[in-house]
Amino acid sequence: METIGFHYVVEAAGCDEEILQDADRIRRIFLEAAKAGSMEVKASYFFKFSPTGVSGMVIVAESHISIHTWPEKRYAAIDVYTCGETADPEKAVDYILDAIKAEYAHVSEIKRGIEEDDDTFTHMILTWEEKLDRKNGK
């Protein structure tokens, strides 16, 4: 089954709240995640909300990776979407989860752009949960 892209939707919990409120640190993490996932960075933008939280995105040649954080809840919503065959989006997801010190992740892998016989497209979803072996002092 051929697909146009892979979209990872990640709910990350038990994250380090200091990291989740630091836009510069998250930008560095995401740029390194793109590198870990063999993605070619084209642009990035990260915004720090007041009093807390960060939203940001890295545009890559293969598509994008993005994050929205709620430090007070130790939660981050993460998307990694890639097209083509050169990128490794799972490596990018793993890098991000490790760097933000997530204790738990609910991950959905969506195979997007599956072409049907009638020239329409559909997608397929695989979902799993991971309890990550780390504690953030709470």
Which residues carry out catalysis? 63, 68, 83
Strands 104-115 and 5-13, by their bridges, are antiparallel
- Asked if residues 13 and 104 have their Cβ atoms less than 8 Å apart, the reply is yes
CA separation for the pair 83, 39 (Å, rounded):
10
Three-state SS string over 60-115 comes to: ECCEEEEEEEEHHHCEEEEEEEEECCCCCHHHHHHHHHHHCCCCEEEEEEEEEEEE
DSSP 74: T
Single-letter amino acid, residue 125 = I
What the block records as the tokens of 121 is 């497209």
